[in-house]
Structure 1
Amino acid sequence: GGRLIFGTSTVKQVRNSHSFIKDMDDEYQLYHESGSFVRFLVSWSSSYSLLWKRIAQLARDIAQAGFWKSKEVNIMDAWLADLHSVGYSFPSIISPSSPLIIQKRAAVCVTGFAECIQEAWVPTWSTIRNHLQGNIDAFLFLSSSHKLEKIPFDVNLKQIRAYLNSTVTILYEDRVIDPHIPSNCKTFYYPPMSRSHVIPYYQQLWGLAECFDLVKEYEQKMNIRYEFLIRARPDSVLNRVPQALEPVNNSTLVIPNENGFGGYNDRFAIGSMSIMEKYMRRWHDLSRCYIENLHAESFLKLLLNRFNINVQLMKTLSYEQQPHGVGRCH
């Protein structure tokens, strides 16, 4: 027999001036190689199915990596031999089971300017909760760059910073973005769209793509799968909704039958995650020059038609923007 003891530096030790330097030399590895040893152990793996073989392999790999000397390997081999000689039965190696995926009903992506939180988004969120059963997560990805002439913008920022009823809230400043549309792509806007609206429109499309990627990243990190996704804005209110606020099926996108301007309403949508990926990430399609008419509602309709996505224009669904003006939230 004999015992193998692993002790930390907090184990009580009796030292004298003659052995102090030697002790420090012996403990050099503890003080200077702990980090690299931990990284080695984290990355180590073995294909052996028997525990004692894995222990023997680990001892040799530790020595090969320079953390042990041959005498430590010999000690480990002798220990394993002793266990075998007394008839010790090593436990079986249990493969870790994959964590169960958490199924959730829906994710809601809210994009746009950080405004009208109390006036529009709070009642809209309440309506969604009342008409949609199951676990729902809200992701607010909002721009803090909008400047209003009539309303101090810090009022809206205080509202969103005080709002806690969301899974993730991200406030960002608009940055210079480039859709990288090829120079030989003959784009136009029909119905006509003023230049002052084009840059905010690009920011809107970029924000949609970023919010969708945020949801997918959250799915991966939290081992969650959402059944479908809802796109919403903070400045509009769900005034009229069907009894069940959900997609008809996994292959159909639901959009309000209003404010289409010759295309599709570009303020609210419900669909499966796979369909909403096309809807939410259309920012990346601008550079591919699939469609030359970049007017917001027209571009959306033409893009969905290109991907053969079924669209249901729902008359019982109304999503109206809050009016602008003095005393209003924008």
Structure 2
Amino acid sequence: YGIVRFLPEGSYARKNIGYLVAIQCGAKLIFESDDDNFIEDNFIKHLPKISSPNIIPNIAFHGERSSFINIYGSFGHPNMWPRGFPLEQIKNVSEDGWSSLRRNDEHIHAYIQQFLADLHPDVDAIYRLTNSFNLGHIKFNREQTPIALEPFTFSPYNTQNTITYYEAFWGLFLPVTTSFRVCDIWRGFWVQRLLWDIGGRIVFAGPTVKQKRNVHSLFNDMKEEQQMYYESAAFVRFLASWKSSSTSLFENIRSLANSIVKQGFWKSAEEKYLDIWLNDLLSLGYQPPPLINLINKEKRKNKRQRAAVCVTGRLACVNASYFLFEKQLRKRLQCPIDIFYYLSSSVPITPCKCFNITLINSATVHILYAKQNLYYQQWRKSCFINSSLSHNQKEEKFEDMWSQARCYDLVSLYEKQNNVKYKLMVHVEFDSTFVKMPISYERDSPFDVNTTIIFPDNNYTDEINEEFAIGPIQKMSYYMRRWYALQNCSLRSLNLHQQLKSMVELNTSVSFDNETIIHINKSDRC
């Protein structure tokens, strides 16, 4: 192989020789691991190359402020991050959604599959030095089903418990000029960018090995990881913006390699080594897959009338009564419904002990985010005329309104991306218990949900029960997005009665339903 003479002795990049040998021997799938991993059940698990939604039911997507997701969060460890995750993005990703998943309804070309490792998972030296008591005891959530990453959503992946199918063999190349602790992470970033161009995805799945880590000098590891700490975020920003007019995969690879060198993320020799690697592949008879126009190939769905259910609140114990509500709501609406969870977690970011990942993952989309400072004190004081609320009550009210607005925006984005048209919207607090519901929500005026927003009738106080609302999505937008009206001072009260009176679009379109009775269990929160 031409690449051999450029691989230094003792270099991790000498694995490139092993890849070529396997390909020459006719491999169609390559599994790679570390010498300190112990495979469970003596069985190398892998998902089908083309996996159905039953096998990969969820897709991860990034938030507004970062192209990264923290995949460890979705597998039960939101306070831990994989090696290569940019440290400056931890806060942004945690607040935008430490677990952000949507339901998958298409077959996934799972060309690269990263399975996790229990006990000593792959984290950087900074995490190891600051969380030494956790290491050796870490176990990921085995109830979490495999997760594919949406295009233009990035996560580090490594070479420690990884499946690569034939279509992605070109991406096995390990950089020669980077350090031992960086080479596989840098490989993972540029490969993810090109994987989308052939219709492929990186998929993460639960642990299938236990790692009992060999002795390392953590300070030496930290020194070798310097490039990751300082450049991971910039490297991914560059990759997300990179475009090519090439018509073949290998030309795309060469073009990207040249750009990576020009941007300073690789040394100039790496471009030459990668070109030699590609020539070695061709000499072995490797056939690279064709490029795919994702826009033209994207499966378009017929527009269909549906109802969107926005579930907001604090990440609380999932009680049976809440999911009974979902079942009952489906019976009471004469259209399919999609569930959107937009839930705040406590600090530190820890899922509840009774957190049921299977039930949460059944939602159309879920975002679990770390509570953040909304900086409402910076707004003009003249915006608020309701001064009877305590500081804590105001904070809770603001977060409720903010999460409602964000959930509505999430639904709107999903409509555009999936060619879905929602007719109705329902908002419900996560810890609400429904004592009574009407036989059907398809009723005549004044309780016609196609023209009117319906709130529960609160028999005990003059305040509106804000734990539930249902109505036409156009009118619900004014109710759900009140946060933005507060920000620009077009609303000047925190009292919902006063807010509804000031909204011309809603003041004749609201009814209070004595057939819907709710008891909210504030004490049930974890």
TM-score (norm 1): 0.61
Residue 264 of structure 1, CA deviation: 2.4
Partner of 1:103: 304
The structure number with the bigger radius of gyration is: 1
Whether 2:246 is the aligned partner of 1:37: answer yes
Could you tell me how far apart the structure 1 residues matched to 2:404 and 2:309 are?
A: 11
Aligned twin of 2:453: 253
Q: Is residue 2:361 matched to residue 1:164?
A: yes
- State the shift of 1:309 in Å: 4.2
Other-structure match for 2:514: 315
CA 307–135 in structure 1, closer or farther in 2 if over 3 Å, else same: closer
1:261-281 C-alpha deviation (Å, 9 max, x unpaired): 434221110111100100110
Task: Sort the Cα spacing of 1:302 and 1:172 in 2 relative to 1 into closer, same or farther, 3 A.
Answer: same
* Cα displacement (A) at 1:123: 1.7
Unmatched 5+ stretches in structure 2:
1-242, 249-298
CA gap of 1:304–1:315, structure 2 versus 1, over 3 A, is farther
Counterpart of 2:371 in structure 1 is: 174
Structure 2 contact 345–369 (Cα < 8 Å) conserved: yes
Q: Deviations over 1:93-134 (max 9, x none)?
A: xxxxx9664213311000001113224421211221222232
Q: For residue 284 of structure 1, what is the aligned residue in structure 2?
A: 484
Distance across 1 between alignment mates of 2:478 and 2:378: 18
Indicate the RMSD between aligned Cα atoms, in angstroms: 3.0
For CA contacts below 8 A with separation 6 or more, give which structure has more relative contact order: 1
Aligned to 1:270, what secondary structure does the other structure show? strand
Write the deviation string for residues 211-259 of structure 1: whole angstroms up to 9, x where unpaired: 0011111111110001100001110122211111246053311111116
Change (3 A) 1:329 1:290: closer
Superposed CA deviations along residues 142-168 of structure 1, whole A, max 9, x for unmatched, are 001268xxxx96314x32565332111
Query: Which of the residues 352, 360, 373 maps onto 1:154?
Result: 352
Give the corresponding residue for 1:130: 331
Amino acid at match of 1:130: K
**Structure 1: 5+ residue stretches without partners:** 1-33, 40-97
For residue 268 of structure 1, the aligned residue among 465, 468, 471 is 468
Partner of 2:317: 116
CA deviations 1:176-214 (Å, max 9, x no partner) are 113477536152326x22111111211111100110011
- The corresponding residue for 2:413 is 217
What is the percentage of aligned positions where both structures have the same residue? 27
Letter of the 1:127 partner, please give it. Q
What is the CA-CA distance between 1:170 and the residue it aligns to?
0.9
Which of 204, 222, 231 is the equivalent residue of 2:400?
Answer: 204
Query: Structure 1 123/211 Cα, relative in aligned 2: closer, same or farther at 3 Å?
Result: same
1:10-67 CA-to-partner distances (Å, cap 9, x unmatched) read: xxxxxxxxxxxxxxxxxxxxxxxx942349xxxxxxxxxxxxxxxxxxxxxxxxxxxx
SS in 2 for 1:266: coil
Q: Distance in 1 between matches of 2:378 and 2:497?
A: 17
Partners of 2:343 and 2:367 within 8 A in 1:
yes
Check 1:130–1:195 CA distance in 2 against 1; reply closer, same or farther (3 A cut).
Answer: same
Determine helix, strand or coil for the equivalent of 1:209: helix
Q: 1:290 to 1:231 in 2, by over 3 A?
A: same
Q: Is the 8 A contact 1:101 1:225 kept in 2?
A: no
Question: TM-score of the superposition, structure 2-length normalised?
Answer: 0.40
- SS of the residue corresponding to residue 185 of structure 1 reads helix
